[in-house]
């Protein structure tokens, strides 16, 4: 039987026809790429045409289209400046001042708005009816009042009329001074010895990072939950604090440091010699002593804090502990005795009232500060303060300037007291410090002061004082800044409070019940269970509120605060560089927004739940 050949063995491979190649003009992928390239080219061409038209139009109008104007002198006076600035500085530095002022309002505003917003948001859920109602009224009222209205209200209706004048500031605890000029408070500043502390700060930062890494690994190894931040914080404080204490060990004063002080003008300068040349030395403590000196002023009738103040006399702010003895007398004692005038102090030894002691009891009684003949106070009366053993420690400012009250030599005051009194002209807003009397033919007497440079460490505490008609020393916030800050904080905190309330309500009720079941108190339940979980819900919308607060600071012109947008508007009006200024504003606000977003998004990512 003959076998048939296996067809699979003799099978030959079939010739398949190659797949047809799709032309590129019919290929969907190629068409998509070409369309994107064409769109980009059209966009670039459109932008190029727009830029060319704008630059051509600006050139025809003789307006700058580039940023070369930034090197020109600005000539813009700026009251609030975190870094040294002169009117002759460039536009670039003026815009930098505005940028720093914007950061100053944004950073402080975000911190305060968060604190108040979280507090009010928690109060909204309180079991106490009064707290819950107050928080509800706070939120519903303040978030529905336009921000511009709130800025004008705080500036015009509160901070300008109500605080007392700079001649009689309110002394608050902690060395704070409040007046219609603003708020001043003590502040720490770096000195010429700050460089000796820098290595300790670097070592403290490195040690803190190592402590944090060690703590994280320890918790992972033990499979425990615990706090990380106390370990790096303690490590940093120990090393940095030790370095700061070491900087104070050297109690000598460098020989190249010097101070010159003119007691008659109440001004001085601290300098340091380097390479044979002297330059101002910033933040140097100086003790200024006067064996005997006098101050003169004139009583005035003022309207202050919406109240009439009769016959008030005000010397520069002096503490009772700064002198061994004080003596007070009228510049024209005979005329004062004829009217039966006496002095009553409301804030010894700087502020008082001239009154007529009609009943002879030596005290100010009701109505004795008003002259019955005129119905007004006893204004225009010269008052002389004589100080013995005066001594004050002041810290020079960033320009090395030292300022003191305008003291006079005692003999000059005595000669002036013998002459007819010429009251100082009043009426100016900051004219409370005036010379009580002038004399003709008085001999010229020089006031001598003793100055001593004090040893200092890496940091020095500068306290605020009022030598004449403005704050010196410390740190100060103007009323313009305070008005804008209060409005932004209160307005934004109302929105943050609602976000916090919603985040707390978003935590399942079972979490609270489970916490109570394991014996946690109400406070522990909120701080350890509820609020940490609510933060995951709260933080993303709060980032938007932080950015809104920063951008809303551009309304600073309503309070007269010189932030970035205000200064940029002035620069644009002076130079006509509207397009470059607009680009700078866009870039600056975008930089601030991205910085906030970067930091807070990183925090949000760490708080997010990690699914397994």
Question: What pLDDT band is residue 388 in, cutting at 50, 70 and 90?
Answer: very high
- Please tell me the predicted confidence (pLDDT) of residue 611: 53
- Please tell me the predicted confidence (pLDDT) of residue 603: 80
Diameter of the chain measured on Cα atoms? 163
- Please tell me the predicted confidence (pLDDT) of residue 250: 85
- Please tell me the predicted confidence (pLDDT) of residue 96: 94
340 located within any domain: yes
184-195: average pLDDT: 93
427-440: average pLDDT: 36
Co-location of 305 and 425 in the same domain: yes
Other CB atoms within 10 A of residue 560 CB: 16
Residue 99 vs residues 82, 337, 582: alpha-carbon distances, Å: 10, 59, 14
528-547: average pLDDT: 89
State the helix-helix crossing angle for 230-247 and 198-222, rounded to 10 degrees. Answer: 160
Give the C-alpha separation, 90 to 76, whole Å.
Answer: 9
Residue 223 has pLDDT above 90, yes or no: no
Pick from 86, 95, 87, 76: which is nearest to 398 by CA?
86
500-524: average pLDDT: 89
- Please tell me the predicted confidence (pLDDT) of residue 522: 83
Average of per-residue pLDDT values in the chain: 86
Co-location of 560 and 597 in the same domain: yes
11, 37, 60 - which closes a domain? 60
DSSP one-letter code for 571: H
Co-location of 292 and 422 in the same domain: yes
Co-location of 315 and 448 in the same domain: yes
Residue 283 vs residues 193, 250, 423: alpha-carbon distances, Å: 11, 17, 38
Pick from 342, 326, 408, 430: which is nearest to 381 by CA?
342
Co-location of 454 and 348 in the same domain: yes
309-334: average pLDDT: 91
CATH of the domain at 102: 1.10.3720.10
254 located within any domain: no
Burial (CB count within 10 angstroms: exposed 0-12, middle 13-18, buried 19+), residue 608: exposed
27-41: average pLDDT: 87
- Please tell me the predicted confidence (pLDDT) of residue 609: 63
Pairing verdict, β 341-347 and 475-478: unpaired
13 located within any domain: no
Contact 321, 314 (CB under 8 A): no
- Please tell me the predicted confidence (pLDDT) of residue 227: 80
Give the C-alpha separation, 383 to 355, whole Å.
Answer: 12
Q: Assign residue 449 a region (left: φ > 0; alpha: ψ between -120 and 50; beta: otherwise).
A: beta
Give the C-alpha separation, 458 to 287, whole Å.
Answer: 18
Neighbouring C-alpha atoms within 13 Å toward the C-beta of 341: 29
- Please tell me the predicted confidence (pLDDT) of residue 14: 55
DSSP assignments along 382-417, one per residue: EEEEEEEEEEEEEE--TT-EEE----B-HHHHHHHH
Contact 208, 236 (CB under 8 A): yes
DSSP one-letter code for 556: G
Give the C-alpha separation, 244 to 201, whole Å.
Answer: 9
Above pLDDT 70, what percent of the chain? 90
Neighbouring C-alpha atoms within 13 Å toward the C-beta of 332: 19
137-175: pLDDT as tens digits: 999 999 999 999 999 999 999 998 888 888 888 888 888
Contact 562, 74 (CB under 8 A): no
Give the C-alpha separation, 573 to 74, whole Å.
Answer: 12
261 located within any domain: no
Co-location of 493 and 456 in the same domain: no
181 located within any domain: no
Burial (CB count within 10 angstroms: exposed 0-12, middle 13-18, buried 19+), residue 101: buried
Q: Assign residue 285 a region (left: φ > 0; alpha: ψ between -120 and 50; beta: otherwise).
A: beta
Domain of 215?
194-247
19 located within any domain: no
Which residues are bridge partners to 343 per DSSP?
354
- Percent helix, percent strand, percent coil in the chain, to nearest 5: 45, 20, 35
482-495: average pLDDT: 96
Co-location of 294 and 372 in the same domain: yes
Which residues are bridge partners to 144 per DSSP?
none
Residue 247 vs residues 20, 244, 262, 543: alpha-carbon distances, Å: 84, 5, 31, 41
Helix (H, G, I), strand (E, B) or coil at 115: helix
Co-location of 387 and 439 in the same domain: yes
Co-location of 288 and 148 in the same domain: no
Question: What pLDDT band is residue 415 in, cutting at 50, 70 and 90?
Answer: very low
Residue count of the chain: 612
311, containing H or E segment: strand 307-314
215-232: average pLDDT: 86
Contact 464, 184 (CB under 8 A): yes
- Please tell me the predicted confidence (pLDDT) of residue 423: 39
- Please tell me the predicted confidence (pLDDT) of residue 61: 73
39 located within any domain: yes
Residue 24 has pLDDT above 80, yes or no: no
Residue 425 has pLDDT above 90, yes or no: no
Give the C-alpha separation, 484 to 308, whole Å.
Answer: 28
Co-location of 395 and 452 in the same domain: yes
Total domain count for the chain? 4
Residue 361 has pLDDT above 80, yes or no: yes
* Signed CA dihedral, 202, 207, 209, 212: sign only: negative
- Please tell me the predicted confidence (pLDDT) of residue 610: 56
104 located within any domain: yes
497, containing H or E segment: helix 479-506
241-251: pLDDT as tens digits: 999 999 998 88
Co-location of 220 and 144 in the same domain: no
Residue 469 vs residues 252, 466, 576: alpha-carbon distances, Å: 34, 6, 37
For the entire predicted model, the pTM comes to 0.81
Pairing verdict, β 382-395 and 285-298: antiparallel
Co-location of 586 and 540 in the same domain: yes
304, containing H or E segment: strand 300-304
Above pLDDT 90, what percent of the chain? 51
Residue 567 backbone phi and psi in degrees, to 5: -65, -40
Residue 194 has pLDDT above 60, yes or no: yes
Helix (H, G, I), strand (E, B) or coil at 189: strand
Residue 441 has pLDDT above 90, yes or no: no
Pairing verdict, β 300-304 and 370-371: unpaired
């Amino acid at each position: 039987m003959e076998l048939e050949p296996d067809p699979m063995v003799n099978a030959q491979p079939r010739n398949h026809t190659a797949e047809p190649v799709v032309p590129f003009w019919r290929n969907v992928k190629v068409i998509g790429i070409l369309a994107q390239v064409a769109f980009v080219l059209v966009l670039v061409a459109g932008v190029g045409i727009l830029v060319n038209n704008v630059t051509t139009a600006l050139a025809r109008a003789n307006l700058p289209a580039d940023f070369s104007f930034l090197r020109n002198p600005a000539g813009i006076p700026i009251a609030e400046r975190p870094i040294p600035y002169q009117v002759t500085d460039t536009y670039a530095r003026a815009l930098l001042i505005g940028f720093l002022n914007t950061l100053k309002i944004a950073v402080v505003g975000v911190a305060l708005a968060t604190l108040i917003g979280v507090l009010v948001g928690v109060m909204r859920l309180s079991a106490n009816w009064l707290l819950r109602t107050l928080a509800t009224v706070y939120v519903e009222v303040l978030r529905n009042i336009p921000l511009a209205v709130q800025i004008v209200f705080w500036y015009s209706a509160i901070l300008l009329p109500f605080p007392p004048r700079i001649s009689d500031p309110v002394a608050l605890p902690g060395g704070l001074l409040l007046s219609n000029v603003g708020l001043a408070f003590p502040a720490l500043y770096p000195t010429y010895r700050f460089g000796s502390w820098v290595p300790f700060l670097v070592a403290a930062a490195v040690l803190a990072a190592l402590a944090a890494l060690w703590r994280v690994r320890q918790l992972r190894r033990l499979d425990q939950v615990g706090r990380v931040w106390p370990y790096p914080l303690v490590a940093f404080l120990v090393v940095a604090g030790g370095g700061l204490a070491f900087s104070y060990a050297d109690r000598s004063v460098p020989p190249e440091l010097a101070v010159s002080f003119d007691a008659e003008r109440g001004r001085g300068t601290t300098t340091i010699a380097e390479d044979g040349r002297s330059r101002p030395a910033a933040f140097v403590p100086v003790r200024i002593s006067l064996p005997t000196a006098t101050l003169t002023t004139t009583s005035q009738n003022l309207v202050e804090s919406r109240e009439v103040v009769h016959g008030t006399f005000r010397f520069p702010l002096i503490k009772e502990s700064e002198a061994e003895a004080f003596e007070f007398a009228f510049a024209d004692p005979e005329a004062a005795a004829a009217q039966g005038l006496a002095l009553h102090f409301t804030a010894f030894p700087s502020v008082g009232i001239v009154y007529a002691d009609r009943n002879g009891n030596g005290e100010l009684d009701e109505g004795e500060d008003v002259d019955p003949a005129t119905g007004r106070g006893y204004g225009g009366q010269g008052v002389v303060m004589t100080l013995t053993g005066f001594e004050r420690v002041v810290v020079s400012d960033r320009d090395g300037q030292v300022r003191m009250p305008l003291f006079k030599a005692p003999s000059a005051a005595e000669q002036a007291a013998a002459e007819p009194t010429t009251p100082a002209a009043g009426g100016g807003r900051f004219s409370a410090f005036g010379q009580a009397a002038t004399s003709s033919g008085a001999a010229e007497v020089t006031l001598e002061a003793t100055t001593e440079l004090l040893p200092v460490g890496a940091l020095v505490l500068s306290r605020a004082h009022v030598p004449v008609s403005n704050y010196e020393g410390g740190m100060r916030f103007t009323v313009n800044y305070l008005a804008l800050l209060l409005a932004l904080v209160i307005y934004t905190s109302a929105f943050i409070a609602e976000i916090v309330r919603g985040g707390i309500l978003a935590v399942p009720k079972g979490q609270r019940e489970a916490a109570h079941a394991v014996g946690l108190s109400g406070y522990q339940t909120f701080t350890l269970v509820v609020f940490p979980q609510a933060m995951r819900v709260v933080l993303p919308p709060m980032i938007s509120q932080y950015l809104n607060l920063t951008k809303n600071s551009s309304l600073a012109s309503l309070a007269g605060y010189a932030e970035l947008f205000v200064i940029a508007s002035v620069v644009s009006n002076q130079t006509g560089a509207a397009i470059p200024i607009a680009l700078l504003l866009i870039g600056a606000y975008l930089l601030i927004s991205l910085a906030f977003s970067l930091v807070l998004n990183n925090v949000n990512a760490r708080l997010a739940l990690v699914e397994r």
